[in-house]
Structures are given as structure tokens and as C-alpha cells.
Amino acid sequence: MKPRVVVVDTNVLIAGLLTGDDESPTARVLRQMLEGRFVFMISTALLSEYRQVLLRPKVANLHGLSANEIDTVLIEIVGNAVVREPDQTGEGAPEPGDQHLWDLLACERGAVLITGDRALLEQPPREASVVSPAAFVATPLILTPKSGPVGVVHA
């Protein structure tokens, strides 16, 4: 069975980095991303959003990482990711600021978005699933053995 491809929303990545509980669902998702334990997609837009939010003064004050340390974490994430650049727009996201997620999900039929955003959880796109971090870590069928880095693919 082919593992399902995942997109990790920025709120999950940030919560995983900020939590003091190493076994929280968000910390587990982040750790599994860094270990390459599941197939996940990012785009340059999503990677940029990860970095911008991590560099916000309030967030940076909480995690205490320098810009160089943030870049090191993001390089590790990219090293385990499938980088996709959507050529077309997916269906409309519930919130305009999340359209890049819907566009990325449209690159892979049956993709799964992991998010803590209630609006996204309640209004998933037709061709994808949207789950909470807790639901994701409770579903081991999505996990796959660690694999090497994958290059950029244009959808």
C-alpha cells in the first residue's frame, strides 16, 4: 500500500517546536518530519511561511532559536520533504490565507493535511483529508520507512 502524502500546517510545526511535552501530538509530528518517518510535501510558499512565523518576535522569544538555528531546522525538514510547486489553483480554501495549502493538497490526490485550524478541519477539500495532530499520530498506517530526499516536482 502506497503511504499517503501529508502536508503539515504551520500551526502544527510551531506548536511542535514550542511545546514542553515531547510526547504531545505536535511534538511527535515534528519529530517524525525531522526523522523522515512519513512522506510529506512542502512548497516554497509553505516553507517561507514556516520561516516567517518562526522569526516573528513573539514566537522567536518563546522558542529562543536564532535565525541560523531556524534555518538549520528548516534545511532538515526540506531534506526529508517532497517539494512541490503547484502550477494550478486547487478549490477555494475556507480562509484566503490558507489557499497555498489547498493548492499543495491538489498536487496529490488523497493527500492529508495535519492542522490545528478548526475552519480547515471542518471544511476539507474534496480530494484530500484534513486531520488534527492527535488523529494523525494515532494512525500509524500513514507512516513509512525513512527514505532519502526528493527533488522539486512541478504539478
Question: What are the strands, taking DSSP E only, across 13-145?
Answer: 41-42, 82-85, 112-114, 129-131
The distance between the two most distant Cα atoms of the chain, rounded to a whole number of Å, is 43
Number of domains in the chain: 1
Total-model pTM: 0.88
- Give the containing element (helix H, strand E) for 6: strand 6-8
Question: Contact, 134 vs 26, CB < 8 A?
Answer: no
The alpha carbon of residue 106 and the mean position of all alpha carbons in its chain are separated, in whole angstroms, by: 14
Q: What is the CATH number of the domain that holds 99?
A: 3.40.50.1010
Q: C-alpha grid cell for residue 91?
A: 478549490
The parent domain of residue 123 ranges over: 6-146
Per-residue model confidence as pLDDT tens digits over 75-92: 999 999 999 999 767 678
Secondary structure of residue 130 in the 3-state scheme: strand
Secondary structure of residue 51 in the 3-state scheme: helix
Residue range 50-58: mean pLDDT, rounded:
97
Per-residue model confidence as pLDDT tens digits over 93-125: 888 899 999 999 999 988 999 999 999 999 999
55 occurs within a structural domain: yes
64 occurs within a structural domain: yes
155 occurs within a structural domain: no
Q: C-alpha grid cell for residue 25?
A: 501530538
